[in-house]
Amino acid sequence: MDILKRPLITEKISAMNERGVYGFVVEKTAKKPQIKDAVEKMYGVKVVEVRTMRYAAKKKTRYTKAKIVSGYTNTFKKAMVQVAEGEIIDFYGEI
């Protein structure tokens, strides 16, 4: 099971990167120690703190010419990881 699914790259989180806080979408069943170990192993940084948030599915409706299409968005879990002072994670280094 892969703990880290993808990094979050938004304006708000990019502003938080300057303070050493990075965001990730993680597996819904992942615990904080597992997230910490996965980030430290993948990026080679020292993690100080992990904060997690769970997002529930939201109902969405779309009106088309033929019919009304209803469904739900996906549920996901987000983790905000704070690294030690002076360390950075470079998401664009491999490009």
The CATH number assigned to the domain holding 17 equals 3.30.70.330
Q: Is residue 91 part of a domain?
A: no
pLDDT digits (tens, 9 = 90+) for 13-50: 999 999 999 999 999 999 999 999 999 999 999 999 99
- Reported as type and span, the H/E element at residue 34 is helix 32-43
Asked if 25 and 78 touch (Cβ cutoff 8 Å), the reply is yes
Backbone angles phi, psi at 32, to 5 degrees: -60, -45
**Residue 93: its pLDDT value, please?**
74
pTM of the model: 0.85
**Residue 95: its pLDDT value, please?**
63
Q: Which two tokens stand for residue 76?
A: 């996901």
Q: Is residue 53 part of a domain?
A: yes
pLDDT beyond 90 at 91: no
Q: Which two tokens stand for residue 72?
A: 């739900």
Asked if 46 and 83 touch (Cβ cutoff 8 Å), the reply is yes
Q: Is residue 32 part of a domain?
A: yes
Asked if 35 and 45 touch (Cβ cutoff 8 Å), the reply is no
Confidence category of residue 94, pLDDT binned at 50, 70, 90: low
Residue 62 domain boundaries? 4-83
pLDDT beyond 60 at 4: yes
Report the alpha-carbon distance of residue 57 to residue 75 in Å, rounded. 5
Q: Is residue 24 part of a domain?
A: yes
pLDDT digits (tens, 9 = 90+) for 41-73: 999 999 999 999 999 999 999 999 999 999 999
Give how many domains the chain has, as a whole number. 1
Q: Is residue 61 part of a domain?
A: yes
Count each helix (H run) and each strand (E run) in the chain, helices first.
Answer: 2, 6
Q: Is residue 38 part of a domain?
A: yes
Q: Is residue 93 part of a domain?
A: no
Q: Is residue 92 part of a domain?
A: no
**Residue 1: its pLDDT value, please?**
57
